[in-house]
Amino acid sequence: MKYFIETGYSSANHIGEELCGDRVETIKTKDSTIVVLADGLGSGVKANILSTLTSKIISTMMASGCTIEECVETIASTLPVCNVRKVAYSTFSILKIHESGKAYLAQFDSPSMIFVRDGKLYEYQTTSREINGKIIYESQFDIQLEDLFVMTSDGVIHAGIGNLLNFGWEHENVAQFIEVAYEKNRSAKTIAAMVVSTSCELYNHEPGDDTTAVAIHIREQNTVNIMLGPPADSSKDIEVIEKFLSMEGKHIVSGGTTSKIVSQYLNEEVYTDIEYLDPKIPPIGFMKGVDLVTEGVLTFNYVMEISNKILEPDYKDFFWLEKKDGASIICRLLFEEATEVQFFVGRAMNPAHQNPAMSLDLSIKLQIVERIASNLRALGRNVTVEYY
């Protein structure tokens, strides 16, 4: 089985700082995925420089096949020395997953990576050795489908220290939180964001340290197909519908005209669901042969707005995970469940949008689709957009 290695991270800056002292770098090579989390000494500009250099050097060298010894020696000779503390210092965690299913973990002076397998916390073996004066903890293991790995900076386990919690959130409690938060179809980005959001609450929204979590979720490939709008040439309706419906995965039909032509092709009625009404978002519908029917541009405009928020570094608004309107459902399908998304976008003009007073026209629809596709790609999804 081919795995989809999904990664996502979230960060919150030390209060009063414009730059984060933590840095996450992800590199995908032809046969592996490498994720590095670096935590620079202190906070602000200097910490940002230290963590950026560390994460960039390690990820680039590891991608080139260098050993951990070579990485540590290069970092030690490259990092600038702090004038106050007289040390060049950045902690780091490295997770490299090979397409064969073999994983390698290296950690230096950072909180232990949290590992969830079969929905439960999993204890993995570590060995230690000294490299260039630094104690490096290493682990090797085989990955399994639905494994979840979460690496954090010190800001997470120190959250709430001396305030809401005497000793901070502590590693054991963070691990238990992640175990509860884990769900098969919950994205890596959302899990990381939940960890950082809770950390910020424990800091009373005034983080005393840069706070970062990066999650890596081993997913089964899952495709979602969307047909939005009919083809510009109506003679191609059947051709496009047949291609759309032949694709593996789930199928979403969006737009009044689109749902009508798909309904005619399948000879099935569309039933509108009025149980969960939202004054801002048109109701959803159901039709045998597809998974979801929604209105078109208005609904996808809200999908775009939600996806823009998901991409924010300090994203922490999870309202759409529970709501049952069309935009929230589509966002869950695309940004939580899907590993691959295929858009079938029709260029036909909607007669209802040709009134000059209406701002919803073809160009707006195309811009919305491109932005959603861009956001999906930024989160590592494989996206295809075809126009008709």
Query: Domain holding 37: CATH number?
Result: 3.60.40.10
Say how far apart CA 345 and CA 312 lie, in whole Å: 27
Q: What is the pLDDT averaged over residues 264-290?
A: 92
Counting the structural domains of the chain, the total is 2
- What the block records as the tokens of 99 is 């397409």
Domain limits for position 214: 3-220
- The answer to whether residues 228 and 349 belong to one domain is yes
Q: Tens of pLDDT along 46-100?
A: 899 999 999 999 999 999 999 999 998 898 788 766 666 555 678 999 999 999 9
Q: Is the pTM of this model over 0.75?
A: yes
Do residues 150 and 164 touch, judged by C-beta distance below 8 A? no
Q: What is the DSSP string of 337-386?
A: I-SEEEEEE--PPPGGG-STT----HHHHHHHHHHHHHHHHHTT-EEEEE
* 228 and 216 both lie in a single domain: no
The tokens for 221 are 């490939």
Percent of the chain with pLDDT over 70: 94
Q: What pLDDT does residue 83 have?
A: 64
Domain boundary among 164, 198, 220: 220
Verify that 249 and 297 share a domain, yes or no.
yes
Q: Are residue 177 and residue 310 in the same domain, yes or no?
A: no
HSE-up of residue 77 (Cα within 13 Å, Cβ side): 7
pLDDT band at 167 (very low <50, low <70, confident <90, very high): confident
First to last CA, the chain: 33
Q: What is the pLDDT of residue 361?
A: 66
Residue 342, H or E segment: strand 340-345
29 and 49 fall within a common domain: yes
Closest of 145, 105, 99 to residue 124, by C-alpha: 105
**In this structure, are 234 and 156 located in the same domain?**
no
Q: What is the DSSP string of 90-151?
A: EEEEEEEEETTSEEEEEEESSPPPEEEETTEE-----EEEEETTEEEEEEEEE--TT-EEEE
Question: Among residues 220, 236, 268, which one ends one of the domains?
Answer: 220
Q: Within this chain, do residues 79 and 162 fall inside the same structural domain, yes or no?
A: yes
